[in-house]
Amino acid sequence: MTTDGRLSTELWVGAHLRRCNDQGLFAAVLRKGDAWGGAVIVKLNLLDGTFKLLNQTRDLDGKVAWLAVQQGALMSEEEAGIYIERQVKRDPDLWVVEIEDKLGRNPFEGKVV
């Protein structure tokens, strides 16, 4: 835990990956960022050749929330990769997690905004 009581990103992501696997969802870290303070992008693989991306953010109360990239529009793997590559150049501490789910559900806590 950090001094402000939050878990490290590495521990937080690991716990969510175990929860996904327990629910029968394939989940994997595609890119490890900073172990303590890296933000997360969730790459939702809908298993039909399309993807949705969610950027981790905070709401007005400081709680975890998710910003739907391109307002939640479906994108190809190439488009998703280009977006992620741009974000990593801006923030080298970024984590990227891929979740395979036909329904495109985000298993991480926090609302999608």
Superfamily covering domain 9-103: Protein of unknown function (DUF1491) (3.40.1530.20)
d(CA 36, CA 24): 27
Residue whose tokens read 């488009």: 79
Q: Give residue 3's pLDDT.
A: 43
d(CA 37, CA 45): 25
Phi, psi of 67 (to 5 degrees): -100, 120
**Per residue of the chain (113 residues), what is the pLDDT tens digit?**
444 567 899 999 999 999 999 999 999 999 999 999 899 999 999 999 999 999 999 999 989 999 999 999 999 999 999 999 999 999 999 999 999 999 999 988 899 98
Per the DSSP assignment, residues forming a β-bridge with 68 are 54
Q: Give residue 4's pLDDT.
A: 52
For the chain, the domains span 9-103
Start-to-end CA span in the chain (Å): 27
